[in-house]
Amino acid sequence: MPDRIPPVLRPEHPSARSLIGLVSEFGLDSVGSLDGVEITGITLRSNEVQPGDLFVGVPGAAAHGAEFAVAAREAGAVALMTDARGAELAADAGLPIVLVDSPRAALGEVSAWLYQTNERPPLTLGVTGTNGKTSTSYILEAILRQLGLVTGLSTTAERHIGELTVVSRLTTPEASEIHALLARMRESEVRAVVLEVSAQALSRNRIDGITFDVVGFTNLSHDHLDDYRDMEEYFEAKLAFFDPDRARRGVVSLDSPWGERVVEASRIPVSTVSATEGVEAEWQLEVLEERAEYTAFRLTGPENRFIETSVPLIGRHMAANAALSIVMLVEAGFELEAIGHAIKDGIAAYLPGRTERVSGERGPAVFVDFGHSPDAFLNTLTAVRTFTTGRTIMVFGADGDRDASKRHEMGRIASEYSDILVITDHHPRFEDPASIRATLIEGAHLAENQAELHEVSPPEQAIRHAVSLAQEGDSILWAGPGHQDYRDIRGVRTPYSARDEARAALREAGWA
């Protein structure tokens, strides 16, 4: 079965730049003749080399990328950029070598130089946080489109260039890929770009070479402690976004305790927004109505200027994401009145796999969601319960080979805030799925008010079991898979769609 990896978007008409010019621009050392060598692309992966590429050999956990220099040359690479160790490994590869201390640290600036992405850049907006990054990014793009701009988007779910859409690989691509994406956007006359930025992207140099006009912070909660020692180190990774080398201005939500700390430590000017009563922020959100179809809200700012609108998503947290988006656009220079006029009939946002309803008018309401952290579970379950007249049924599993420290809390919150809980599998990867389920069940038993508990594997049967338990007026929340079209089982991406499985389960149960 092929590994279902989406393509990298590159400029269709790249400009060639001389290798001598690169070495001169950055004051680098080199090995071999650079005369007449021109580069048109850059990549870290030998299996994605295109003719004219600069191949970058990065040291990894299992191997050094420079070991694949021969394969890169055979695929059309015209030069190698690597460190001293990589140069030794690739000495016989037959490629001119550009030497840097850290290939990964150099990648962003070199990619920006190659693709000339800092020349007349579009409005560039970035969003970080534990939860809500993707939703906020989509909402930002939707409002920008309603304001009449051609947009670009890069999120966990998708990449957009105007009307072109492709599925994403990583939340934030490698620096070489993101600069190629920005160059492709320039060809399509994109005027505003929204980038979802993970903590890992900040820690691993993936957004180097980009200066953001405005960055936003949603929240911070328990996640990714497989990558960071503790919450403090995780916070410091996010905080790096609020540095003048990264961005010009920021907007911070104060709805998690970490927001105030971002404000205190930020090295760029920031504005604040909150949906929490009693929290003093420059912009205050008031939720006016919560329905299964939309959430209506009022956002009030300085001098009592306000916007009233709605977002076609469920929950106060989604209204908070919309509020953050609006304030980011104000900070970017858009007039509040112009934004209000553009979205007076609602924000026209569609978020694939984010509390996405996949059911019809009859029978239980079924939502598929990408949430995979305790805080995400709490927000979404609370939202679903608000408008559910019957019982709330939850189906979920947990990622294998990822942060295991959050599994007990995921199970506890799922059990506490649902009436019926079906624990199943997600991406087991190389872990034993039964062991993952056992940990989630332990967590479920920690709830003060425990849900009726069912353990069903595999997930195709779990959603059918949940539907068999459901009645008219009930809601089913299937958390975890969201927009994804595969399951990772022992390193193989098996085709799989939670949305399709949920719809099939409803049809088989007789719900149109």
Write out pLDDT tens, residues 133-187. Answer: 999 999 999 999 999 999 999 998 899 999 999 888 655 789 999 999 999 999 9
Rounded CA-CA distance 139/394 in Å is: 26
Whether 495 has a pLDDT exceeding 70, the answer reads yes
Q: What is the pLDDT of residue 1?
A: 33
- Contact (Cβ atoms closer than 8 angstroms) between residue 2 and residue 486: no
Q: 260: exposed, middle or buried (C-beta count within 10 Å: 0-12, 13-18, 19+)?
A: middle
Q: What is the pLDDT of residue 142?
A: 98
Tokens at residue 445, please? 């038993």
Question: In 254-304, which ranges are E strands?
Answer: 270-274, 283-290, 295-300
CA dihedral 120, 141, 175, 228 (to 10 degrees): 140
- Contact (Cβ atoms closer than 8 angstroms) between residue 316 and residue 275: yes
Q: What is the pLDDT of residue 4?
A: 46
Whether 225 has a pLDDT exceeding 90, the answer reads no
Cα separation of the two ends of the chain: 33
pTM, whole model, 2 decimals?
0.88
**Percentage of the residues of the chain whose pLDDT score is greater than 90:** 87
Q: What is the pLDDT of residue 95?
A: 98
Closest CA to 81 of 99, 64, 94: 99
Say yes or no: do domains 123-342 and 356-508 share a fold.
no
Residues in the chain, total: 512
Whether 3 has a pLDDT exceeding 60, the answer reads no
Q: What is the pLDDT of residue 2?
A: 40
Domain definitions of the chain by residue range: 17-115, 123-342, 356-508
DSSP 280: -
Q: Which CATH number fits domain 17-115: 3.20.20.70, 1.20.1090.10, 3.40.1390.10, 1.10.472.50?
A: 3.40.1390.10
> Which CATH topology does 123-342 take?
UDP-N-acetylmuramoyl-L-alanine:D-glutamate ligase (3.40.1190)
Q: What is the pLDDT of residue 460?
A: 97
Write out pLDDT tens, residues 359-386. Answer: 998 999 999 998 889 988 998 999 999 9
Q: What is the pLDDT of residue 477?
A: 97
Helix/strand number for the chain, H first, E second: 16, 26
The single-letter code of the amino acid at 178 is: I
Please report, for residues 78, 320, 456, the alpha-carbon distance to residue 23 in angstroms, rounded to integers and kept in the order given. Answer: 15, 47, 58
Whether 241 has a pLDDT exceeding 80, the answer reads yes
Rounded CA-CA distance 83/25 in Å is: 18
How many C-beta neighbours within 10 Å does residue 205 have?
Answer: 18
The pLDDT-based confidence of 227 (bands split at 50, 70, 90) is: confident
Tokens at residue 406, please? 């959050």
Rounded CA-CA distance 207/422 in Å is: 39
Picking from 370-379, 410-419, 435-444, which range would have the lowest pLDDT averaged per residue? 370-379
Whether 512 has a pLDDT exceeding 90, the answer reads no
Question: According to the CATH classification, is domain 356-508 in 3.90.190.20?
Answer: yes
Tokens at residue 462, please? 């779990």
What is the residue whose two structure tokens read 């430590």?
Answer: 265
Q: How far is CA 64 from its chain centroid?
A: 28
